[in-house]
Amino acid sequence: MRTIFATTFALAVAITAGLCGCAENPFLSSGPSPRVEDCAQLRQATPTEYYCDGKTYTSVQLSDIRNGVAPLSK
Amino acid sequence: MKLRWVTLLAALGSVMLLANVRTLYAQDGLPAAKSTTLWVDEGTGEVFVRPGHGRVPMTIGASPEQIQQQIEEQTQEKVRAAVAESEAQQQADRVKLEQQVASMQPAWHSYLNNFQNKFRIGTLAYLDYGYYTHTGFGPQWLENMNPPGVGNNGFNSFDINRVYLNTYFTPTPDYTFRFTPEIYRANGTASNDKIGTSTGVGTNLDGDLNVRLKYAYLQYTGLWKDVPLLKGGNVTLGAQPNPLLAWEEDFTQFRYVYLSPWNYLGLSSSQIGLQFNGPVKPYGSERTYVDYGFGVYDNGSFKSPEQTDTKQIMGRATIYPFGAKWRYDGLGLTGFYNYGYGNTAPDSDSLSTPLKGSNARFDRVAAILTYAAQEWNMLGEFDYGNNAFQLSNLYSGSGPLDAFGTATGTAIGTTGGVKYAGNTCTAAKPCYGVQDTYGPQVAGYQAILNNGRARQIGFDLLGHYHIPYTKLTAFGMYQWVLPNDNVIEDPLDFERFVAGISYQVNEYLRLAVDSQNLLFYHNQFGLPVSTLEQYNYVPGGTLNGRLLPKTGSFVIPDLVPRDMHTIFVNLEFAY
């Protein structure tokens, strides 16, 4: 149990330190919406499917949105 | 006088003839061409043979150099003409060839376009590093994990839990064929090989990561295309995901970290059989109010050959009382039922044995309540089963040698006849002691789990929460299991819990750090032989060639197994 608490505490410290106002914090979301971390995973398939804000996307479509490629409508 | 005048005339003629004869030179070729230059007085127009004041040259005839130049020019002209004609012909031939090739291309383009639109390939990989602060015997955390048991604290390893290569062929919109091989670790004793009379080769059958079939099925999705209520339903034949586990794993979203409850207890995620799946969308709505899956399958799982003359059935139905806009949306109530028979050939199924083990009929039930929103979800589950958790499932990760055919500890009676626990122990028939061994305990567990009347009860709670504005998601899972609630105090009652946090690197890659724990939560105790006998423990029976305790009052001690605690870093790559 001690190990579990220590691990959790260390993680919390790391995350909190990361959240404190750094310009490019890798733990924070950034980029155009919808972002994969904000979506619900519907099905692990080829490709994986997600639901976001009323629409269904594949992992490839979300990646294209993040990279600035014109997204395909689904 | 006349003759003198004739003779004189003839002589004179001869002289005149000979005087006019010129020397005839040898004929050595055509006379050389020669140009002649005259001079013309521009004022008077008179032609002179010499240059002078006011006179310009006038050349008559061509010089050899000029003639040669003319010949060369004519020759070059002819060559140019010939080359031009050849080039023109080549151009015409090229055009013709291009037209022929162009007429062939549509067939290739068509094939490639069709292939691109009708074939998908992807991969799924679960990798991890695990550090065991406390090792123990128990079910696998994830596939291909077989850590050493009790007494190996600090064991750690990098593992490959899952590697799928998913291929989908869709020749027409209604038909899809899926083929998914996966890796697995081969475990088992194997003898070395012998070549000839004096050559040996070491075996490589134990421990290797091999490739096997996980899914291979044909799916037809046009079954209900003319029935709006059931549109989207399909029928599938082959080795396929069963109706419960794939649904539940997709709900949890953390299959790369932990197994869902019935999967942890031994229900296989792939079955070979015939299955129907689909949504029910009444009232002409686009919302799903019922989601179902049911089918008939082999009693053996995808990795064992079928032996029975019967089949098992499985079915799941999920009701969304408020309608689901997307899969799992909102409140859901799910019921699952599975009934089957032990995978045993008919000629041995009817034999009477005290411990039915995996030959017993089994069933599994799950009643599940879910709620899902876009960034969080929760699931509560009640589990009920009969003969659905065997000793082999308890030790799917690793177990004591005594459960796998090898006796441990010091045998009693090897030096001569000794009385122990109601047995007479001899060298020919030694007895199990209870020190430094798991033999009698394993025999007790076999009785508790494999007697053909074991009843499982379980309760589970799991979910996740996405931390807003971050790439982090907290997740947890709690499972409580009574492997046989017919046993008043079952030393094997356990809890499993998982807690961790995941990081979404990108659309294809996730990492998680988590703690996984297996707790046999009773205080340590033993059971007398007379109690275990109620569950078909055979007093004085034999296990691994040794006699088991026989006297009714003899207590088999230390029946509560050791806990297991592990810290993991898990990685998922999906494309």
State the pLDDT at residue A23.
54
Cα separation, B211 vs B220, in Å, equals 27
**B227-279, pLDDT tens digit by residue?**
999 999 999 999 999 999 999 999 999 999 999 999 999 999 999 999 999 99
The range of the structural domain enclosing residue B164 comes to 125-400+438-524+559-574
pLDDT reading at B32 higher than 80: no
The percentage of residues in chain B with a pLDDT greater than 90, rounded to a whole number, is 65
Contacts for B105 with CB less than 8 Å, ≥ 6 apart: none
Q: Which residues of B touch A4 (CB under 8 A)?
A: 499, 515, 517, 565
Contact B469 A28 (CB under 8 A): yes
Q: Is B473 close to A43, i.e. CB distance below 8 A?
A: no
pLDDT of B369-422, one tens digit each? 999 999 999 999 999 999 999 999 999 999 999 999 999 999 999 888 899 999
Predicted confidence at residue B28, as pLDDT, reads 45
**pLDDT: which is higher, B159 or B63:** B159
Q: Answer yes or no: is pLDDT of B337 > 70.
A: yes
Nearest chain A Cα to B470, which residue? A28
Q: Please state, rounded to an integer, the average pLDDT across all residues of chain A.
A: 77
pLDDT band at B24 (very low <50, low <70, confident <90, very high): very low
Kindly identify which residue of chain B lies nearest to residue A43, measuring between CA atoms.
B250
- Confirm whether B320 is domain-assigned: yes
Task: Give the E-state strand segments of B26-110 in sequence order.
Answer: 36-41, 47-48, 55-60
* B-chain residues near A48 (CB < 8 A): 507, 574
Each residue's pLDDT tens digit, B156-212: 999 999 999 999 999 999 999 999 999 888 776 677 777 777 877 777 667 778 888
Q: For residue A59, what is the nearest residue in chain B, using CA coordinates? A: B507
Q: How far apart are alpha carbons A13 and A19 in whole angstroms?
A: 10
Residue B33 has pLDDT above 60, yes or no: no
Q: Is B517 within 8 Å of chain A by CB?
A: yes
Number of domains in chain B: 1
SS (H, E, C) B414-446: CCCCEEECCEEECCCCCECCCCCCCHHHHHHHH
Strand, helix or coil for residue A5: helix
Residue B27 has a pLDDT of 46
Report whether pLDDT(B10) > 80: no
Interior/surface letters B22-37, b for 16+ CB within 10 angstroms, e for the rest:
eeeeeeeeeeeeeeee
On the question of pLDDT at B29 being above 80, the answer is no
B374/A39 CB distance under 8 A: yes
Task: Determine, for residues A47 and B567 on separate chains, whether the beta-carbon distance falls below 8 Å.
Answer: no
Is the separation of the CB atoms in B133 and B515 below 8 Å? no
Chain B residues whose CB is inside 8 A of the A56 CB are: 326
Question: Which chain B residues are within 8 Å of A43, Cβ to Cβ?
Answer: 250, 327
Q: Is the pLDDT of residue B352 over 80?
A: no
Q: Which residues of A touch B473 (CB under 8 A)?
A: 37
Which of A1, A41, A52, A64 to mutate: most B Cβ within 10 Å? A41
Q: Which 8-state DSSP code applies to residue B404?
A: G
Identify the closest residue of chain A to B574 by CA–CA distance.
A48
Half-sphere exposure of B498 (CA within 13 A, CB side): 30
Contact between B142 and B258 under an 8 Å Cβ cutoff? The reply is yes
- Sequence-distant (6+) residues with CB within 8 A of B416 are B426, B427
- Tally the C-alpha atoms within 13 A of residue B412's C-alpha that lie toward its C-beta: 19
Helix (H, G, I), strand (E, B) or coil at B478: strand
Burial of B441 (0-12, 13-18, 19+ CB in 10 A): buried
Q: Is residue B87 part of a domain?
A: no
The yes-or-no verdict on residue A5 having pLDDT over 70 is: no
Would you call B377 and A40 a contact, using CB atoms and an 8 Å cutoff? yes
Quick one: pLDDT at residue B415?
A: 87
B227 lies in a domain?
Answer: yes
Q: pLDDT at position A34, please?
A: 94
pLDDT digits (tens, 9 = 90+) for B476-486: 999 999 999 99
Poorest-pLDDT segment among B56-60, B354-358, B365-369, B427-431: B354-358
- Chain B residue with CA closest to A31: the answer is B469
> Three-class SS of residue B105?
helix
Measured between beta carbons, which residues in chain A are less than 8 angstroms from residue B327?
42-43, 51
CB-CB under 8 Å, B327 with A42: yes
pLDDT of residue B268: 93
Shortest CA gap B552–chain A (Å): 39
Task: Please give the residue of chain A at the shortest CA–CA distance from B498.
Answer: A4
Provide residues of A within 8 Å CB-CB of chain B.
Answer: 3-4, 7-8, 11, 15, 19, 26-29, 36-48, 51-54, 56, 59-60, 62-63, 66
Q: Identify whether B43 is part of a domain.
A: no
Helix, strand, or coil (residue B69):
helix
How high is the pLDDT of residue B308? 84
Task: Please give the ipTM for the structure prediction.
Answer: 0.78
Contact: A3, B567; criterion CB under 8 Å: yes
Task: Answer with the residue of higher pLDDT: B369 or B82.
Answer: B369
What band does B307 get if pLDDT is binned at 50, 70 and 90?
Answer: confident
Q: Quick one: tokens of B434?
A: 């209870």
Task: Considering only residues B398 and A7, tell me which one the structure prediction assigns the higher pLDDT.
Answer: B398
| pLDDT confidence band for A14 (50 / 70 / 90) | low
Q: The tokens of B280 are what?
A: 């029910």
pLDDT tens-digit series, residues B479-532: 999 999 999 999 999 999 999 999 999 999 999 999 999 999 999 999 999 999
Across chain B, mean pLDDT equals 89
- Mean of pLDDT values over B141-158: 93
Q: For residue A52, count other CB atoms closer than 10 A to its CB.
A: 19
Rounded to a whole number of angstroms, the distance from the CA of B245 to the nearest CA of chain A is 12
The partner residue sitting opposite B326, judged by closest CB among A15, A36, A42, is A42
CATH number at residue B169: 2.40.160.10
Pair B99, A19: CB distance under 8 Å: no
pLDDT at B293: 97
Strand B199-201 versus strand B193-195 pairing type: antiparallel
Q: Is residue B305, in this structure, part of any structural domain at all?
A: yes
pLDDT score of B508: 96
The encoded tokens of residue B338 equal 């599975």
Q: Is A59 in contact with B507 (Cβ distance < 8 A)?
A: yes
DSSP tally for chain A: helices H, then strands E:
2, 3
Q: What is the mean pLDDT of residues B294-301?
A: 92
pLDDT in tens, B122-146: 999 999 999 999 999 999 999 989 9
State the smallest CA–CA distance between residue A67 and chain B in angstroms: 11
Query: Which conformational region is residue B375 in: left (phi greater than 0), alpha (psi within -120 to 50 degrees), or beta?
Result: alpha
Question: Contacts of residue A27 in chain B, CB cutoff 8 Å?
Answer: 470-472, 503
